[in-house]
Structure 1
Amino acid sequence: MRKTPELIVALDVGDLASAAALVDRLYPAVTLFKVGLQLFTAEGPRAVEAVQQRGGRVFLDLKLHDIPNTVAGAVCEAARLGVVMCTLHASGGRSMLQAAAQAVAGGGSSMQLLAVTVLTSLDARGLEEALGSPLDVAAQVVRMASLAREAGVDGVVASPHEIGLLRAALGPLARLVIPGIRPAWVAAGDQRRVMTPREAAVAGADYLVIGRPITAAADPVKATDRILDELRAVA
């Protein structure tokens, strides 16, 4: 039987009251929530605590990218907050990735580190503009993911279009957290490399990160139920 990926709802809102209201409405159908840059910048650790107080678990998506010592310190603080997953950019390099992995392991935390490979908003043209040289997106994703694995990182964040390549490169145990999920009934928006929840589940994702199709819906509960039904039908 195919594994059903877990849904992560992205709390991409600007204030604690809005985030808490979404968790109250969606829990316990959803138990894992993303606290990202917008909400964490606005509210700080209180955002994490608000989710936890309501029974939820937190995926802290800050995409850390700095010198090794700074990132190691940041992931230690994330672990102290009790988050279950935390992101950092694979493009920070081997030393940064290793420092972060060693800091988490040394602290005895079970928090999982996830390396962001190539943002789902970037297509081949955007990647070339960002890096200054023509690169194949899929090849760059696999390259970054392999570097992260060698450095001791637990899993990766990548677009659904690279799931198959990542499974082949990293094996069945690597955690694949997949944003860029857009149900057929919503617009893709600023995402470029997208799939529907069903397509990503069939491809082999472990987690699906979905924000605006739920948070911007007229009825977030109905939108969530519709997505969960689509995922259950795949198993």
Structure 2
Amino acid sequence: MKQAKDYIIFPLDVPSVKQAKEYVQLLSEHVGMFKVGLELFIQSGPEMISFIKGSGTAKIFLDLKLHDIPVTVLRAMERVAEFGADFVTVHCGETPRMLEYAVKGSREKTGVLGVTVLTSVSGEDIHHAGFREEFSSDMSKLVMKRAEMARDAGCAGIVCSGLEVKMVKEKFGKDFVTVTPGIRPSWDAVEKHDQQRITTPAQAIKNGSDYLVIGRPIRDAKDPKTAAMRISEEIEKETQVSSAF
């Protein structure tokens, strides 16, 4: 049975491998998954993955956001899949073929997640990037379009903000995985930092999120372990309410 802590993905977005390992040792029993991003993966990918696997039961989320011509993504995914990560991200980008090749390259060894629209991106950013008005004025339409691309390509799910999760689940079903960044617990939701579209853990879970990427509220806390446990309590309350209906 899924525990409250299993919803939490903690991003190891720190400047050194030493710090990353310290967080793994500190939080391995209090979060469900560790996110290894591009910076850490380039610095020490295989070593870090092995360390996480040997430190407890937490799973691994490789947030590499692959984005290239289809055959290059296929070959990269073939290599990445050998690491045994639970999820690997690929940008939805411009062509469904790239997503299809990513899924093919995974060989069912890892779940491929399509990145729809980054939570740091605003409607104004979308407008300046040259997208049509219908997408810049309502980014949920762009998220849904890319979610459909990912689903049709065979991806396990997508990465999207908590604001779009409900729509995604309603259209593509509860088994289509949604990973939600831009999460701020109720006691830390005032400051947006560099995120534009944020939600609390309770809001995201209520909308149907399967996993929540929660970094700063844990990492910047005086006691990260206590912060993670506090977030788990917030999640547990919401899951209990949801299961009652």
> Which category describes the TM-score, using the shorter chain as reference length?
over 0.9
Q: Does the 8 Å CA contact 2:92/2:114 hold for their aligned counterparts?
A: yes
User: What is the match of residue 12 of structure 2?
Assistant: 11
Q: 1:167 aligned to 2:166?
A: no
**Shift of residue 124 of structure 1?**
0.9
How far apart are the structure 2 equivalents of 1:27 and 1:144? 33
Whether the 8 Å CA contact 1:66–1:92 is kept in 2: the answer is no
1:23 equivalent in structure 2 = 24
Q: Deviations over 1:48-98 (max 9, x none)?
A: 222112123210001110011111111111110111100000114111111
Q: Which one is further off, 139-148 or 120-129?
A: 120-129
Classify the secondary structure of the residue corresponding to 1:222.
Answer: helix
Aligned length: 231
Q: Does 1:113 align with 2:117?
A: no
Quick one: distance in 1 between partners of 2:55 and 2:94?
34
- 1:233 equivalenced with 2:237 (yes/no): yes
Give the Cα–Cα distance (whole angstroms) in 1 for the partners of residues 94 and 230 of structure 2.
37
Query: RMSD of the TM alignment (CA)?
Result: 1.7
**Which residue does the alignment assign to 2:218?**
214
State the SS of the aligned residue for 1:122.
Answer: coil
Aligned counterpart, 2:202 = 198
> Structure 2 length normalisation: TM-score?
0.89
**CA distance, structure 2, for counterparts of residue 64 and residue 92 of structure 1:** 13
Give the SS at the match of 1:223. helix
Task: Write out aligned runs for 1:1-235 (5 A).
Answer: 6-55=7-56, 56-105=58-107, 108-109=108-109, 111-134=110-133, 135=135, 136-186=138-188, 187-235=191-239
Q: Which runs of 4+ in 1 moved over 6 A?
A: none
Deviations 1:10-65 (A, max 9, x none): 11112111111111111212231000122123323222222112123210001110
Report the AA paired with residue 51 of structure 1: I
In structure 1, what residue type is equivalent to 2:201?
P
Could you tell me whether the CA contact under 8 Å between 1:24 and 1:54 is conserved in 2?
yes
Distance in 1 between the 2:75 and 2:193 partners? 35
Could you tell me how far apart the structure 1 residues matched to 2:54 and 2:78 are? 21
3-state SS of paired residue (1:61): strand
Which whole-Å CA distance do the structure 2 matches of 1:218 and 1:175 have between them? Answer: 32
| Structure 1 residue 154, shift from structure 2 partner | 0.9
2:150 corresponds to which letter in structure 1?
A
- Letter matched to residue 205 of structure 1: S
Query: Could you tell me how far apart the structure 1 residues matched to 2:55 and 2:73 are?
Result: 28
Provide the C-alpha distance between the structure 2 equivalents of 1:146 and 1:3, rounded to a whole number of angstroms.
29
The gaps in structure 2 that reach 5 residues or longer are 240-245
Match of 2:243 in 1: none
Task: State the structure with bigger RCO (CA 8 A, min sep 6), 1 or 2.
Answer: 1
Q: Which amino acid aligns with 1:227?
A: I
Q: Where in structure 1 are there 5+ consecutive unaligned residues?
A: none
Tell me by how many angstroms 1:232 deviates. 0.6
Matched to 1:120, the amino acid is T
Secondary structure at the counterpart of residue 186 of structure 2:
coil
Q: What amino acid is aligned across from residue 157 of structure 2 in structure 1?
A: G
* Aligned counterparts of 2:213 and 2:152: Cα–Cα separation in 1: 25
2:183, 2:65 → 1: CA distance? Answer: 18
Matched position secondary structure for 2:36: strand
TM-score of the superposition, structure 1-length normalised?
0.93
- Residues 104-158 of structure 1, C-alpha deviation per residue, up to 9 Å, x if partnerless? 23xx52x100000000011211111223432220000000000111111110000
